[in-house]
Chain A
Amino acid sequence: MSPAAANTTIDVKTLVIDGVDVSARADQTVLEVARENNIFIPTLCHLDGLSDFGACRLCLVEVKGSPKLLPACVLKVQEGMEIVTKSDRLLHYRQTILELLFAERNHVCSVCVVNGHCELQSMAQSQGVTHVRLPYRNPQLPVDASHERFVADHNRCILCTRCVRVCSEIEGAHVWDVMGRGIDSMVITDLMQPWGESTCTRCGKCVNVCPTGALFDKSKVGSAHPKYPDFVPYLNMMRECQ
């Protein structure tokens, strides 16, 4: 085989996820392969079409031979890998991570605009979080309603940085970023200008990819507020076609 022909050959790997034999391209992540095979791995910061951040730690899986748990969203497949995505230990960790999120800021579903359309809420349901064992921190956080169309409610933010990534990678504006560190981290627009006075292009991508009620549309306050984050892969595909 000539070197040129070798380059065009697709490198295929086979691996085992939850006892199921699956095949994958060498450049795929474990999360992609699992979803192709209808194996559900919970995620919050991951969004198809955006770069992976590896921060929510919900997609951690057990890999045979590795002492550490590894995040499926950035874990590249390898030949002969044996992966477990569901175990009592993983479920406990996922539940505790969700509890940590609920206790971190003021996630009060009953008075949230996206109640019923929230990824955090449905994730807690799917992972069986029935109550929060940790004391609530109840921080005092601002609500930025300076934008003519949208509101940023930091009480609902889980710092997944989807808004930061979509604004930078898809819209190309990079209005959003993260300020501060640790428990004091906060997403900001520009250099912490009010959203309404920032360089925001008013495209609304951040609002649609936000998994919670942290970013929402003013016109939908008080009513159902479905979000449509699926546009990102479509947009990427259309751009690649050009």
Chain B
Amino acid sequence: MTSEELLQIAETTVAERKEFDYELNVCMALGCMSQHSDKVKAALTEEVAKSGKRCHVRQTGCIGPCAAGPLVSVGPTGTLYGNVHEDDAEAVVASLGGDPVERLQTHLQHYFEGQHPIVLENSGQIDPEKIDEFIGRGGYLALMQVLTQMTPQEVVEQISRSGLRGRGGGGYPTGLKWGTVAKAVGAQKYVICNGDEGDPGAFMDRSVLESNPQRVIEGMAIAAYAVGATKGYVYVRAEYPLAISRLTVSLREARRRGFLGSGICGTTFAFDIEIRIGAGAFVCGEETALIASIEGLRGQPRSRPPYPAVSGLWGSPTLINNVETFANVAPILRNGPEWYSNIGTAKSKGTKVFALTGKIANTGLIEVPMGMTLRQIIFEIGGGIPGGHKFKAVQTGGPSGGCIPEQHLDLPVSYESLIDAGSMMGSGGMIVMDDTSCMVNVARYFMEFCMSESCGKCIPCRTGTAQMFNLLTKICNGEATHADLDLLVDLCDVVKNTSLCGLGMTAPNPVLSTLRYFKDEYLAHIENQHCPAGVCACGSRVVAAEEVMA
């Protein structure tokens, strides 16, 4: 593959696209697939053939507002249809060239207006299984450019200058990590993509892998060139079968086009990627546990240092980045680090993909610039709380994060600001809660998650989470005393400071953050055996009259 050939493929793809008068892009990511968008696509294909219109029906990745699925976007007008059923196919195809079908139209201008798609720029636009469509939208240009015009040091330097930070949650500067692995001495080096996304309510990595897997492969190849690796692994959890199948197809396609294997882009650079499927352990998202799992061992973390950058997979220097981090690499190199660092806040650059879930009108996947306030994300993009309920808190960072209450809604989202508010960025799950959620019960839920996902290696996490879960259950049942609460706080401190890995260290966060902002709810359970939200079955809870009527 030379750059001329790459350009030719891109031009051919664009020309092919122009042969059609219309296009119907059907979302075939997991959210819409669960609503039978595959049947919608089949029905649309059939109707188009019957009508004789020059229309291309395409499967695409995630379009965004999952709650309105199955989604079909119409080109070139840009009309977005939601809740499309296979019976609607006839009406949709008939409307091509005329007025859109009013009853199917979604009115989600606000949802898209504030967004800034970089990672998701191709999501919902291309067929994720067709490499040429990706090339047609500038794919693999960055890899070509890097391999033919830049030294590895220049690549690391560009990534450092862009200010990109790890999107898996920790926010470690990506350029620094790459530089460390590049400097590490070793005959063999590895690049690993961490796709073991396990936070409740998070589906960013899954969507990226389902919607634009080539972008991740391109990012990994660039990283491999920058650090001197020849072998890569994508670690995906077994719960993501669609992502695994799309990735498998994409790896094959990338090899066919010569972007993986030996002699990539006509240079001497060689790199290939294998998929490793996780067996369903949350702790395998921790980098040392993930490495152990790839090695075929029990997925348990080990003490760091040595860090994987020095001694990782099979003792070799290893670069581990999250799916979203790799997906940011190509655009940075294509548009320059300054372009990227102009987006976002002083310390948190670029954009972040969030999965909006919970009590929110527009459940779905969004990508916003860093520094946008939580209020804008939840009330403008997310469309606010449905059913006339009142906003109570937003949970970010999964089981490692915390709940942020209303008084902090104007907080600009960045790594630092969320930590100051007692939560963390995490991988990007945002669970919105309204006045029907009991915060003690939420803390109990996350503690149960940490308890059952603890690997059992270190004592504080293994037994501490179980003890904390029992104490929280006691509080929820209205059987706890103030002494139990003190013990809970003490255990939080011990588990946070003595656990071996990040899972244990952050397990107390949901308790600590709810205690910080919603202590009155804890006290109501303890002192009055009353759950203010009416969720917990406390002893003396009086059932409201309207509930009896209902």
Contact = CB atoms under 8 A, between A and B. Distances in A.
Given A97-B460, A135-B470, A182-B453, A69 B494 contact: no
Contacts of A57: 458-460, 498-500
Given A71-B303, A96-B490, A159 B467 contact: no
B457 A101 contact: no
Given A71-B303, A93-B498, A182 B467 contact: no
Contact of B303 (A54, A93, A96): A54
Interface string A213-228: 0000000000000000
Contacts of A103: 463, 467
Contact of B456 (A53, A60, A96, A184): A184
Nearest to A76: B305
B436 interface: no
Contacts of A54: 302-303, 458, 500
B459 A93 contact: no
Question: Which range contains the number of B residues in contact with the other chain?
Answer: 20 to 34
Interface in B478-537: 487, 490-491, 494, 497-500
Contacts of B456: 159, 178, 180-185
Interface string A117-137: 000000000000000011101
A183 B466 contact: yes
B14 to A, nearest CB: 51
Nearest to A182: B454
B122 interface: no
Contacts of A92: 494
Contacts of B470: 135, 137
Contacts, number: 93
A113 to B, nearest CB: 23
B29 interface: no
A97 B504 CA distance: 13
Contacts of B466: 104, 137, 182-183
Which of A56, A100, A137 is packed against the most chain B CB atoms within 10 Å?
A100
A56 B497 contact: no
B281 interface: yes
Contacts of B305: 76
Given A57-B459, A182-B451, A182-B454, A97 B497 contact: no
B460 A181 contact: no
A74 interface: yes
Contacts of B451: 182-183
B307 to A, nearest CB: 13
Contacts of B463: 100-101, 103-104, 137, 183
A100 B467 contact: yes
A103 B487 CA distance: 14
Contacts of B465: 182-183
Contacts of B487: 133-134
* Interface core residue of A68, A96, A104, A133 (most chain B CB under 10 Å): A96
A192 interface: no
A57 B457 CA distance: 10
B535 to A, nearest CB: 24
Nearest to B491: A96
B462 interface: yes
A93 B467 contact: no
A16 interface: no
Contact of B298 (A158, A178, A184): A178
Contacts of A180: 456
Interface in B272-323: 281, 283, 298, 302-303, 305
Nearest to A104: B463
Given A134-B467, A135-B470, A159-B462, A181 B281 contact: yes
B490 A181 contact: no
A93 B500 contact: no
Nearest to B458: A55
Contacts of A134: 467, 487, 491
Contacts of B234: none
A53 B298 CA distance: 13
A74 B458 CA distance: 14
A93 B492 CA distance: 11
Contacts of A68: 497
Contacts of A158: 459
A100 B499 CA distance: 13
B452 A60 contact: no
Contacts of A185: 455-456, 462
B464 interface: yes
A135 B464 CA distance: 12
B194 to A, nearest CB: 20
Interface in A140-173: 158-159
B488 to A, nearest CB: 11
Contacts of B283: 181
A10 B192 CA distance: 36
A55 B457 contact: yes
A97 B498 contact: yes
A183 B498 contact: no
A208 to B, nearest CB: 22
A101 B283 CA distance: 22
A182 B459 contact: no
B494 A96 contact: yes
A57 B461 CA distance: 10
Contact of B460 (A76, A100, A183): A100
A84 to B, nearest CB: 14
Contacts of A135: 467, 470
Interface of A: 53-57, 60, 68-69, 71, 74, 76, 92-93, 96-97, 100-101, 103-104, 133-135, 137, 158-159, 177-178, 180-185
Interface of B: 281, 283, 298, 302-303, 305, 451-460, 462-467, 470, 487, 490-491, 494, 497-500
19 contacts: A54-B303, A57-B460, A57-B500, A71-B303, A71-B500, A93-B494, A97-B498, A101-B459, A103-B463, A104-B459, A133-B487, A135-B470, A137-B467, A159-B456, A180-B456, A181-B456, A182-B456, A184-B456, A185-B455
- Which 5 interchain pairs have the tightest Cβ spacing? A185-B456, A182-B454, A54-B303, A100-B463, A104-B463
